[in-house]
Amino acid sequence: MIVLLTNDDGIYAEGIQMLGEALLQDEEVELYIVAPDHERSATGHAITMHRPLRAEEARFFHNTELKGWAVNGTPSDCVKLAIEYLLPQKPDLVISGINRGANIGTDVLYSGTVSAAIEAIILGIPAMAVSLVLPFDESKHPDFRFAANFMLRTLRCICEHGLPPDTLLNINVPDKSRREIGGVAVTRLGLRHYRNTFQKRIDPRGKNYYWLAGELVDSSREEDGEDTDVAAVKKSYISVTPIQFDLTNYQLLEELQKIDWGI
């Protein structure tokens, strides 16, 4: 089974390397890593059109069994380039992550991690995105080991059951020990709200620039339901959310078809 790993934290990020080492425990997995040469978080589904892409062979000195390429592009670029050119044949599965930080609710629209998985299913390859949900106290060093081992078990489960076309699994694992995890919750996307602010600063040449800042607003509402990924990770559950890229509002579609547009 050929598995492609990518991410948006960069090819040398701890999360992707921990995941790679875990997946190598499965002797049936032929693993390739193609990921950005530096962090590309919150790039969404951007692709590079107006400059050339470069792919350099990556060296993982702590584990020479890992092999891959560092690309000077976005996560979506990495998946495109890997599937269409770099890999000897198309992968059976693409996994994006492990991201440092949650990708839940509306965050998936900004996430380079999730967008890489979406690019895979656009190209007809089953995919999963996985993220580590960090506590608010980020002084604690993230521990990717449990999430990596969980993904190894999930890989075997997906091999057995498969995924429907045009669908990916978005998985968020709380950064907690096994005994603190409540279990696995199959969820739908929830809502995440931020209080955005822009800090105005002046560069050394006297020109203004603006730096986006902000903080997460706890917007949990009873009407949002307990079946969302936001609610699940808040209760220390691993959330597994099936996502598709078809954003069509089918209910409104039927209403719009009834309108006489006058043309």
Work out the average pLDDT over 182-187: 97
What is the distance between the alpha carbons of residues 232 and 52, in angstroms, rounded to a whole number? 42
Which residue would you say has higher pLDDT here, 140 or 77? 77
CATH number at residue 41: 3.40.1210.10
- pLDDT the model gives residue 263: 83
Between the alpha carbon of residue 39 and those of residues 10, 113, 131, 185, 258, the distances in Å are 5, 11, 15, 29, 47
Asked if the model's pLDDT at residue 104 lies above 80, the reply is yes
Domain contains 198: no
Has this prediction a pTM greater than 0.85? yes
Packing angle, helices 145-161 and 14-23, rounded to 10: 50
Assigned domain for 217 exists = no
Lowest mean pLDDT among 108-122, 150-164, 200-214, 215-229: 215-229
pLDDT digits (tens, 9 = 90+) for 35-91: 999 999 999 999 999 999 999 999 888 888 888 999 999 999 999 999 999 999 999
Summarised one tens digit per residue, pLDDT across range 24-44 is 999 999 999 999 999 999 999
Whether residue 189 is predicted with pLDDT greater than 60 in this model: the reply is: yes
Q: State how far the Cα of 117 lies from the Cα of 21, in Å rounded to an integer.
A: 20
**Residue-level pLDDT at 197:** 80
Tell whether 212 is covered by a domain: no
Percent of the chain with pLDDT over 90: 81
The pLDDT value recorded for residue 219 is 54
pLDDT of residue 193: 78
pLDDT tens column, 191-244: 887 777 888 999 999 999 999 877 777 655 554 678 999 999 999 999 999 999
Residue 226 has φ and ψ, to the nearest 5°, of -90, 0
Burial of 206 (0-12, 13-18, 19+ CB in 10 A): exposed
Position 225 scores a pLDDT of: 72
Q: What was the pLDDT predicted at 139?
A: 62
Q: Is the sign of the CA dihedral 80, 86, 88, 94 positive or negative?
A: negative
Q: Is residue 136 part of a domain?
A: yes
Number of domains in the chain: 1
> Is residue 207 situated within a structural domain?
no
Q: Rg of the Cα trace of the chain? A: 20
* In a domain? residue 216: no
- The 3 state secondary structure assigned to the chain is CEEEEECCCCCCCHHHHHHHHHHCCCCCCEEEEEEECCCCCCCCCCCCCCCCCCEEEECCCCCCCCCEEEECCCHHHHHHHHHHHHCCCCCCEEEEEEEECCCCHHHHHCCHHHHHHHHHHHCCCCEEEEEEECCCCCCCCCCCHHHHHHHHHHHHHHHHHCCCCCEEEEEEEECCCHHHCCEEEECECCCCEEEEEEEEEECCCCCEEEEEEEEEECCCCHHHCCCEHHHHHHCCEEEEEEEECCCCCHHHHHHHCCCCCCC
Residue 213 included in any domain: no
Q: 25: domain range?
A: 2-190+225-256
C-alpha of 113 from chain center: 3
Q: Tell me the pLDDT of the chain averaged across its residues.
A: 92
Pairing, β 208-217 against β 193-202: antiparallel
Residue 10 pLDDT exceeds 90: yes
